[in-house]
Amino acid sequence: MQFEHNHPLPERLRPVTLDDLIGQEHLTGDGGVLRRAIKAGQIPSMILWGPPGTGKTTIANVVANSLKRPFRSLSAISSGVKEVREVIAEANRHRGTILFIDEIHRFSKSQQDALLGAVEKGTVTLIGATTENPSFEVNSALLSRSQVYTLRHLEEEDLLKLMNRALKQDDKLKKREVEIKEHAALLNISGGDARKLLNLFELVIDSIQEDPAVITDKAVMDIAQQRVAVYDKTGEQHYDIISAFIKSMRGSDPNAAVYYLARMIEGGEDVKFIARRMLILASEDIGNANPTALVIAANTFQAVTYIGYPEAEIVLSQCATYLASSPKSNASYMAIKQAKKLVRETGDLPVPMHLRNAPTKLMKKEGYGKGYKYAHDFQNNFVHQQYLPDQIGDFKLYDPGQNAREAELRKRLKALWGDKYGY
C-alpha cells in the first residue's frame, strides 16, 4: 500500500506480506518458524530481539495483517500501566488481539506484570520488540510465556535491495532519475539500520537538485553532516549528550541539565542508564557537601526502574535539578583515589596488632587485638589510638571540601585529632 509523500520513506515502503520482507530469512523465509506459524494460523506470544532497523515493527505488522487479527501498538517510552489496561480491556471484547510493544525492555516491572495475566489467558498475543537482551530486561514470568526470536543485522545485499526497491516502487522517487554511483557512505552511516538507511537515502535525493541525482559518497557525507541530527544511543552523540548532562549538573546549571535530560528522553535513552549516571554523580561530585543527594539519587534509580516511561521523566527531572542545584565536593572521590594510589605504592602494610581480629585463644595469646580501646567507652565516643599502619600513621587522605557541611566535618576532625592529620 502506498502512503502519501509526506510520510517518511520507510513507512511508504513498509511491507504488508512476508514475501515483501527483506532480510531475516531464518524467520520469515521458506521453512522459517514465523512463516510456518502464520501458515498454520497460530502464533505464540513472542519477543523480537535485534538491533534497530532490522524489521521488528514490520514483522509485527505483517503477522497481524496476514492473520487478519485486531492489532494494537504501544511504545514503552510513552505508554504506562493505564494504556496497557485499556488495551487489555478492549482485547476482552475483541478476542485474538495482537498487542505490539516497541522497546518492551523499557517497561517497568509493574507494567510488565500488568501484561502477564492477559498473556497467560490468551486475551492478547504479545509481540514485544527489544534491542536489549531479554534475559536481563524482560520479566522472567513474561519471558517464560513467550518465544524469543533473534533478528540479525541486514547484510549489504539486503540494504542495496531496499534502495533499489524504493526507486522502483515508491511513487515519489519514481519521478526522479537517480544514479547510485557510490553507496559506501550510505551503508556506513546507516550501520545496517534499514529505517535509517531509507531516511538518509530520501534526504540525499531531495537535497540534490540536478537531474539525474548522482549519489556519491562525498555528496552523502556533505548532506549528512549538514542535515542529519539524530540521537544515536550507541554512537558518538550518545556520549556527547550524557557528558554535557553530567558536566551541567557538576557545574551547578539546572537549566542546562534538564535540557540535556530532555534530549536523552526524546531520543529514547534507557531510563536506568540516566538514573545510574546521576547516582554516580551524587557521590563523586556532591558527596559530603550534601549527603542527601545520594539518598535522592538512589531512590530515583529505584523509582524509575519500577515505573518506567513516561512517568519516570518527572522523577528524573526532579533529581537532575536537585543535583545541579546542590553544593559540590569531590573530596570523598579524591580520598579513595589517593588511598588506592597509596596502597599501590606501599603494598600490603601490616595492620596494627590492636586492630586485628582475634577469634581464637592462640591469636589472642599472640597479641591480636591486645590494647584495642573501644571508642564508646570514652567521652564523646572517641579515644586517641593508631588506626592506620605505623608506616603511614599520619597520612591525610580525606580533606573535607570548602562548603558548609564539610566545614563542620573539618572542625570536628580538628577537635578530635588536633594536628595529627593537619585539619
| pLDDT, tens digit (0-9, with 9 covering 90-100), for 90-136 | 888 887 899 999 888 888 777 888 888 889 888 899 999 998 888 87
How high is the pLDDT of residue 227?
52
Q: Which one-letter DSSP state was computed for residue 94?
A: S
As a whole-number percent, the residues of the chain with pLDDT over 90 amount to 42
Mean pLDDT, the chain, integer = 88
How high is the pLDDT of residue 324?
96
How high is the pLDDT of residue 3?
43
How high is the pLDDT of residue 237?
61
How high is the pLDDT of residue 132?
83
Dihedral of the alpha carbons of 243, 249, 254, 259, in degrees to the nearest 10: 10
| pLDDT, tens digit (0-9, with 9 covering 90-100), for 42-71 | 899 999 998 888 899 999 999 998 999 889
Is it the case that residue 268 has pLDDT exceeding 80? no
Identical fold at 236-325 and 335-417? Answer: no
Helix/strand/coil for 148: strand
According to CATH, the topology of domain 156-227 is: Helicase, Ruva Protein; domain 3 (1.10.8)
Place of cell 542529519: 228
Is it the case that residue 263 has pLDDT exceeding 60? yes
According to CATH, the topology of domain 24-150 is: Rossmann fold (3.40.50)
Mean pLDDT of 11-17: 88
The domain locations on the chain are 24-150, 156-227, 236-325, 335-417
How high is the pLDDT of residue 230?
47
Of the given ranges (136-140, 227-231, 242-246, 274-278), which has the lowest mean pLDDT?
227-231
> Which CATH number does 335-417 carry?
1.10.3710
Of 79-93, 214-228, 246-260, the range with the highest mean pLDDT is 246-260
Q: pLDDT-derived band of residue 243, with 50, 70 and 90 as boundaries?
A: confident
Q: pLDDT-derived band of residue 225, with 50, 70 and 90 as boundaries?
A: low
Burial class (CB in 10 A: 0-12, 13-18, 19+), 256: middle
Is it the case that residue 2 has pLDDT exceeding 50? no
Contact by Cβ (8 Å): 326, 293: yes
Burial class (CB in 10 A: 0-12, 13-18, 19+), 230: exposed
The architecture of the domain spanning 236-325 is: Up-down Bundle (1.20)
